[in-house]
Amino acid sequence: MMYDAFLLLGRSSDTELYPAPRFVTHIDDQAIRALTKYYSQALPLSKTHGVAILDMCSSWVSHYPAGYKQEKIVGMGMNEDELKKNPVLTEYVVQDLNLNPKLPFDDNTFDVITNVVSVDYLMKPMDVFEEMRRILETSGLAIMSFSNCCFWTKGISIWTSNRDADHACIVGAYFHYAGGFEPPELYQSSNPGQTDPMYIVCSRKKIA
Ligand SMILES: C[S@@+](CC[C@H](N)C(=O)[O-])C[C@H]1O[C@@H](n2cnc3c(N)ncnc32)[C@H](O)[C@@H]1O
């Protein structure tokens, strides 16, 4: 049988997997704190006029700093009940990116794109990253964060058959091969064996 890096181990479709909301957190408090601390330095200041952010693979929490607000914060995810409850979102879109990786936004729309513990579920990552480049403003920042856990039947083969350090390289390769991004940077917070590690791979859209 041929190895397909972007196939799932499990057979259920994403639409079947997300019918009921899950109001849970997928990483522990220390990992969330590390991510929120990173966001507090990387995101534009709260309530900056004209800033637009997209939280991809979003749910009922986005882990932005407490009270963080912008005029436009769009959440994209699979479950409407989760998205409705997310206090930072100003709007949301329900879309299965594995069925339709085209992002329903104009070119050069967003200042920042975030994606928390979900990049491992993308079966068409190159399409999605090319779309991210298209909808980001010039110098707009994409922040992909993940830990060492995933739903193993939902993660794509290349993810589940590799380890944490490889995952950072995989996400870096998505940026590199999508083209039009600055060389990606890795931020890592880990406390081996005691807390969930947090890996953040981020890159800015290149000035054309
Ligand atoms: C592990 S949860 C993470 C949720 C949220 N980012 C967080 O940090 O709690 C995975 C999220 O990815 C979204 N997701 C999974 N597969 C998806 C797909 N094929 N298309 C779009 N979103 C997807 C789900 O809606 C879910 O909210």
Q: Quickly count: other Cβ atoms within 10 Å of residue 108's Cβ.
A: 13
Residue 7 lies in a domain: no
Instruction: Determine the pLDDT at residue 73.
Output: 98
How confident is the model at residue 112, as a pLDDT?
98
Q: Is the pLDDT of residue 24 over 90?
A: no
Question: What is the identity of the amino acid at 172?
Answer: G
pLDDT score for 164: 86
Cβ contacts of 43 within 8 Å, gap of 6 or more: 53, 64, 65, 68, 112
Only one residue has tokens 């991210």, namely 132
Q: Does residue 183 surpass a pLDDT of 60?
A: yes
Ligand 1 midpoint to CA 208 (Å): 31
Model confidence pLDDT, tens digit, residues 144-182: 999 987 767 777 888 888 888 899 999 999 999 999 999
Report the chain's mean pLDDT, rounded to a whole number: 91
**Residue at 101 is within a domain:** yes
Distances (CA, A) of 172 to 104, 178, 204: 24, 10, 12
CATH of the domain at 81: 3.40.50.150
Closest ligand 1 atom number to CA of residue 79: 25
**2 C-alpha vs ligand 1 centroid, how far in Å?**
28
Tell me the pTM: 0.92
Q: Could you tell me if residue 5 is inside a domain?
A: no
The number of domains in the chain is 1
Q: 161: domain range?
A: 14-204
The predicted structure's pLDDT at residue 10: 59
Q: Which residues line ligand 1 (CB under 6 A)?
A: 14, 18, 26, 57-59, 61, 77-79, 96-98, 116-118, 121
CA 198/CA 188 separation, integer angstroms: 6
Q: Is the pLDDT of residue 190 over 80?
A: no
pLDDT in tens, 65-89: 999 999 999 999 999 999 999 999 9
Asked if residue 2 is part of any domain, the answer here is no
Is residue 14 very low, low, confident or very high in pLDDT (cuts 50, 70, 90)?
low
Burial label, 20 (beta-carbon count in 10 A; 0-12, 13-18, 19+): exposed
